[in-house]
Amino acid sequence: MSARTSVARRTLATPLILSALLIVFALLAWFVGSKPFNQTIIDIFLRVILVVGLYIFVGNSGVISFGHAGFTCLGAYAAAWLTMPPMMKQTLLPGLPEWLTALQLPYWAGAGLAALWAAVWAALFGKILMRLSGIAASIATFAMLAMINTIYSNWEDVTGATSSVVGIPIVRTVWPYLIAAILAVFIAWAHAISRAGLALRAARDEPTAASASGIDLPRERLIAFVVSGAVMGMGGALFAHSIGVVTPDTFYLGLTFITLSMLVVGGMGSLSGAVIGVLFLSVLIQALRWLEAGVTIGASKFALPNGVQEIALGVVMILILARRPSGLMGNKELGWRRAGSVAPDVSGQKQPDLSKGVSK
Partner 1 sequence: MKRRTYLTATLLGAALASTPARADDDRIVVGFATAESGFMQAYDKPAQDAAMIRIKEINDAGGLLGKQIEVVNADTKTDRAEGAKAGLSVIDQGADLVVVSCDYDFGAPAALTAESAGLVSFFLCAESIKAGIQGVGPHSFSASVLAAVQGATMAQWSYEKKGARSYYRLLDTWTEYNKGICDGFDWALPQLADATLVGEDTFKNEDASIAAQITRIKSLPEEPDAIMLCTMMPGAVSAIKQIRAAGINSMILNGSGVDGSYWLSAVPDLSNFFVPVQGSIYGDDPNADVTAFNAAYKEATGGDPSTQYVYPGYVLIDVWAKAVERAGTTDADAVVAELEKMNEEPTLFGPRTFSSEIHHQNKARYLIVETTNGKPGVVDEWTIPEAIPVADLMK
Please write down the HEC assignment for all residues of the chain.
CHHHHHHHHHHCHHHHHHHHHHHHHHHHHHHHCCHHHHHHHHHHHHHHHHHHHHHHHHHHHCCCCCCHHHHHHHHHHHHHHHHCCHHHHHHHCCCCCHHHHHCCCCHHHHHHHHHHHHHHHHHHHHHHHCCCCHHHHHHHHHHHHHHHHHHHHHCHHHHCCCCCEECCCCCCCCHHHHHHHHHHHHHHHHHHHCHHHHHHHHHHHCHHHHHHCCCCHHHHHHHHHHHHHHHHHHHHHHHHHHHCEECHHHHCHHHHHHHHHHHHHHCCCCHHHHHHHHHHHHHHHHHHHHHHHCEEECCEEECCCCCHHHHHHHHHHHHHHHHCCCCCCCCCCCCCCCCCCCCCCCCCCCCCCHHHHHCC
Q: In angstroms, what is the minimal distance from the CB of 43 to partner 1?
A: 6
How many residues of this chain interact with partner 1, rule: CB under 8 A? Answer: 46
Given the complex with partner 1, which of 25 and 55 has the nearer CB atom? 25
Piece of the chain touching partner 1 by CB under 8 A; list 71-79, 145-153, 209-217, 285-293? 285-293
Q: In angstroms, what is the minimal distance from the CB of 253 to partner 1?
A: 14
> Considering only residues 38-67, where is the footprint of partner 1 by CB under 8 A?
38-40, 43
250 binds partner 1 (CB under 8 A): yes
Q: Choose which of 112, 207, 244, 325 interacts with partner 1 (CB under 8 A).
A: 244
Given the complex with partner 1, which of 13 and 21 has the nearer CB atom? 21
> Considering only residues 296-315, where is the footprint of partner 1 by CB under 8 A?
306-307
Given the complex with partner 1, which of 31 and 99 has the nearer CB atom? 31
33 binds partner 1 (CB under 8 A): yes
Piece of the chain touching partner 1 by CB under 8 A; list 59-67, 116-124, 206-214, 243-251? 243-251
34 binds partner 1 (CB under 8 A): yes
Q: In angstroms, what is the minimal distance from the CB of 198 to partner 1?
A: 27
Q: Choose which of 108, 142, 186, 280 interacts with partner 1 (CB under 8 A).
A: 280
25 binds partner 1 (CB under 8 A): yes
CA atoms within 13 A on the CB side of 17: 17
Piece of the chain touching partner 1 by CB under 8 A; list 142-150, 191-199, 237-245, 343-351? 237-245
348 binds partner 1 (CB under 8 A): no
Q: In angstroms, what is the minimal distance from the CB of 160 to partner 1?
A: 10
Per residue in 287-317, is it b (16+ CB within 10 Å) or e — as a string?
ebeeebeeeeeeeeeeebeeeebeebbeebb
Q: In angstroms, what is the minimal distance from the CB of 307 to partner 1?
A: 6
Instruction: Say how many residues make up the chain.
Output: 360
| x/- letters, 172..191, toward partner 1 (CB under 8 A) | x-------------------
287 binds partner 1 (CB under 8 A): yes
Q: Find out whether 121 and 144 touch, Cβ atoms under 8 Å.
A: no
142 binds partner 1 (CB under 8 A): no
> Considering only residues 75-114, where is the footprint of partner 1 by CB under 8 A?
91
32 binds partner 1 (CB under 8 A): yes
Piece of the chain touching partner 1 by CB under 8 A; list 54-62, 110-118, 193-201, 290-298? 290-298
Residues in touch with partner 1 (CB under 8 A): 21, 24-25, 28-29, 31-40, 43, 91, 162-164, 166, 170, 172, 239, 242-245, 247, 250, 276, 279-280, 283-284, 286-287, 289-290, 292-293, 295, 306-307, 328, 334
